Amino acid sequence: MGQFLQQLINGIQIGSIYALIALGYTMVYGIVRLINFAHADIFMFGAYMGFFLAPVMAKVFGGAFIPTIIAAMLITGLLGFIMEKLAYRPLRYKSRLSALITALGVSIFLENFCAMDFVLFGVHFVFGPTYRKFPDLIVAKNIPIPGNLGLNISNVLLLDVGVSVILMVLLFWFVNKTLIGKQMRAVAFDKPTASLMGINIDVVISTAFIVGPALAGAGGILYGTTYGMLASPFLGIWPGLKAFIAAVLGGIGNIPGAVLGAYIMGISEAFATSVNSNLGYGMAFAILIGILLIRPSGLLGKFMPEKV
């Protein structure tokens, strides 16, 4: 029983990070019908921004976590905005396949670009390829749970879950209550009609490309804080892939679906690994395929037949 609950906790922790990434995939897809493969690399970029900025923030503000996560979110948001302007906007009314290939190209570009040695004011900003120790933004502490189940919860886990829940609540408020949020939903529902109603599509799309990457940037900081190590500019690939699958599982384009899918992904991964560590991910993916067979458009996705 104790072990079961502990695995559930492990799954929720990693699911929180997947959720922050999955939201970006699903928002962008919902609005422009584009699978933004470069999203995983924005997550990586956010993690490395934390690595470079945390010492500076600690000096300027005294505490490091909150200023670092906000700075990383601003930077990744800006990166998302630029990315859309330069790479995706020129192709918006071209074939969807071209945009998909461009997304792959942006992804590979970001990974390899970040492998370069940047010098700014005499300081070297090198992302990889050696392992980087992520600064300890908070001191990890183990909080023992009373009772004889032998459960362990760390303050890092509470932080991961807490920060992602706060950001998700903010996102739901943003999408449902603000004017630009309503415009986003309108564009996601029917782009030409929304445009006819006087909604500025460019602004809406730019917003989606700022908010999604900002969340991924926050995910990157949580990732760094949780694991304390950044391996290489390619570290986003696996978490990104899993978050993408989580978004599909929940019903791509659906925001609560992405969160649900991410938690299912994290939890099934933890349980599958605990049953047989050799199969691990393989089993987690088999579960996902099973779910998609029953609900092809995802758990919360709507099945929409093509209108002729």
Smallest distance, other proteins to C-beta of residue 270, A: 4
Q: Is the peptide bond before 129 cis (omega within 30 degrees of 0)?
A: yes
For residue 46, what are its two tokens? Answer: 């956010």
Residue among 183 and 273 whose Cβ is closer to other proteins: 273
Can you tell me which of 280, 285, 287, 297 binds other proteins, judged by CB under 8 A? 280
Q: Is 230 left (phi over 0), alpha (psi -120 to 50) or beta?
A: beta
Smallest distance, other proteins to C-beta of residue 105, A: 22
Size of residue set near other proteins by CB under 8 A: 36
Q: Whole-angstrom Cα distance, residue 192 to residue 94?
A: 16
Q: Where are the alpha helices (DSSP H) in the chain?
A: 2-32, 39-61, 65-83, 96-113, 155-177, 179-189, 191-196, 201-227, 237-250, 255-275, 281-294
The dihedrals phi and psi of 34, each to the nearest 5 degrees, come to: -125, 135
Q: Does 277 bind other proteins (CB under 8 A)?
A: yes
Q: Does 274 bind other proteins (CB under 8 A)?
A: yes
Q: Does 107 bind other proteins (CB under 8 A)?
A: no
How far the first Cα of the chain sits from its last, in Å, is 54
Q: Does 2 bind other proteins (CB under 8 A)?
A: yes
Q: Does 147 bind other proteins (CB under 8 A)?
A: no
For residue 294, what are its two tokens? Answer: 């029953």
Smallest distance, other proteins to C-beta of residue 189, A: 37
Can you tell me which of 270, 283, 299, 300 binds other proteins, judged by CB under 8 A? 270
Q: Does 146 bind other proteins (CB under 8 A)?
A: no
Q: Whole-angstrom Cα distance, residue 136 to residue 9?
A: 22
Residue 12 contacts by C-beta under 8 Å, 6 or more apart in sequence?
Answer: 157, 161, 263, 266, 267
Q: Does 133 bind other proteins (CB under 8 A)?
A: yes
Compose the 160-199 pattern: x for residues touching other proteins by CB under 8 A, - for all others.
----------------------------------------
Q: Does 101 bind other proteins (CB under 8 A)?
A: no
Smallest distance, other proteins to C-beta of residue 14, A: 6
Q: Whole-angstrom Cα distance, residue 195 to residue 192?
A: 5
- Tell me the DSSP string of 69-90: HHHHHHHHHHHHHHHIIIIIGG
Residue among 144 and 305 whose Cβ is closer to other proteins: 144
Q: Does 159 bind other proteins (CB under 8 A)?
A: no
Smallest distance, other proteins to C-beta of residue 256, A: 24
Q: Does 7 bind other proteins (CB under 8 A)?
A: yes
Q: Whole-angstrom Cα distance, residue 115 to residue 65?
A: 26
The SS3 call for residue 144 is strand
Q: Whole-angstrom Cα distance, residue 233 to residue 206?
A: 25
From 58-66, 127-135, 167-175, 182-190, give the range in contact with other proteins by CB under 8 A. Answer: 127-135
Contact positions with other proteins (CB under 8 A) in 205-244: 223, 227-229, 231-232, 235, 237-238
For other proteins, the binding residues (CB under 8 A) are 2-3, 6-7, 10-11, 13-14, 130-131, 133, 140, 142, 144, 150, 152, 154, 156, 223, 227-229, 231-232, 235, 237-238, 269-271, 273-274, 277-278, 280-281
